[in-house]
Amino acid sequence: MDQAPLRVDQSGEALRLLHVHAHPDDESSKGAATTARYVAEGVRVVVATCTGGERGSILNPAMDRPDILANIADIRRREMDRAREILGIEQVWLGFVDSGLPEGDPLPPLPDGCFAQVELSEAVAPLVQVIRELRPHVVTTYDENGGYPHPDHIRCHQITVAAFDAAADPKAYPELGEPWQPLKLYYQFTFHRDRIAALDAAMRERGLESPYAERLADWEPDPSHAARLTTRVECADYFSVRDQALLAHATQVDPEGSWFAVPLEVHKQAWPTEDFQLVRSLVPTDVPEDDLFAGIAVPAAESSASRVQV
């Protein structure tokens, strides 16, 4: 695949994108094809990972062994290293401890010292520092429900929204560098009903067994939620990169499991985009969008011509 022209902002600087995720593997299961597309276009993409995933369950039966469990923190870091290489990104750890996913009725208390228990002002600080050092044009994270109600995902949302503003405030965390204001904030919108229904229909049309039938049976349409989708990024050519990055997280992703029950070509044809909700923009832009950098990036032809003149 040919390298696309380097994409720049109005001042001629290369575009910069920051994804904020709760655990290693989230960067590969949410928006990874979009990431790979932007990397191919010359965008600098950084993933800030809030926790080490130390309390994550082993979801691949082939990896469910005592030696893996005993070294899960180190193994998940190595998995993240491999996924980082595949996606072509930079990655930083914010240094918090996985909260785990509490189960039961009533729910048990969260472990002391875990990410979801850290005071918000303290948890925001390392992300403010990352934003001020990277100076991203665009930041993405999860919605107020965390995408799903994992305490670390919800906390990830909270610190990202807070840091989006705090990083620009010279009075906030003055010891953490020069202020920087990102221009746009998005929520990941990967697992929504319209997409799942389209994949389900495409499988059935081909006479294939859909892994989504049971889920859809109990999933009522929610027009208000569907209306939150503002931005569809065409990235089907990079779905294979996404899948490779997912497989790098071998403790979390079973190659024989539901992640890969739908053939790649069906994914490409039935739903060729990854989707986002624009929630903050400091630049003019019209929705629906097809680019996270809409309103920021110089059109590719202008950017290419400018570099030739130089």
How far is it, in rounded angstroms, from Cα 122 to Cα 127?
A: 10
Domain with 84 in it: 16-309
pLDDT tens by residue, 96-110: 999 999 888 888 899
Q: Does residue 55 have a pLDDT over 60?
A: yes
Written as six digits, the tokens of 210 are: 């859909």
Predicted structure pTM score: 0.94
Is 153 labeled as ligand-binding? yes
Is residue 180 in some structural domain? yes
Contact by Cβ (8 Å): 25, 79: yes
* pLDDT of the residue at 310: 36
Written as six digits, the tokens of 68 are: 């893996």
Domain count of the chain?
A: 1
Question: In which order are the strands placed within the sheet that holds 44-51?
Answer: 90-96, 44-51, 16-21, 138-141, 184-188, 273-281, 231-234
Place of tokens 């930079």: 90
For residue 135, give the CATH number of its domain: 3.40.50.10320
Is 23 labeled as ligand-binding? yes
Place of tokens 């305490």: 151
* pLDDT of the residue at 5: 53
Written as six digits, the tokens of 22 are: 């709760």
Cis peptide bond upstream of 255, omega within 30: no
Is residue 272 in some structural domain? yes
Is residue 5 in some structural domain? no
* 3-state SS assignment for residue 233: strand
Contact by Cβ (8 Å): 110, 100: yes
- Residue 116 pLDDT grade (very low, low, confident, very high; cuts 50, 70, 90): very high
Q: Does residue 229 have a pLDDT over 80?
A: yes
How far is it, in rounded angstroms, from Cα 128 to Cα 180?
A: 9
Is residue 9 in some structural domain? no
Is residue 30 in some structural domain? yes
* pLDDT of the residue at 306: 44
- Residue partners of 113: CB distance under 8 A and separation at least 6: 97
pLDDT tens by residue, 155-173: 999 999 999 999 999 999 9
Is residue 4 in some structural domain? no
How far is it, in rounded angstroms, from Cα 27 to Cα 47?
A: 7
* pLDDT of the residue at 109: 93
* 3-state SS assignment for residue 99: coil
Is residue 59 in some structural domain? yes
pLDDT tens by residue, 244-298: 999 999 999 999 988 899 999 999 999 999 999 999 999 999 999 999 999 999 9
Is residue 8 in some structural domain? no
Crossing angle of helices 72-87 and 239-248, in 10° steps, is: 160
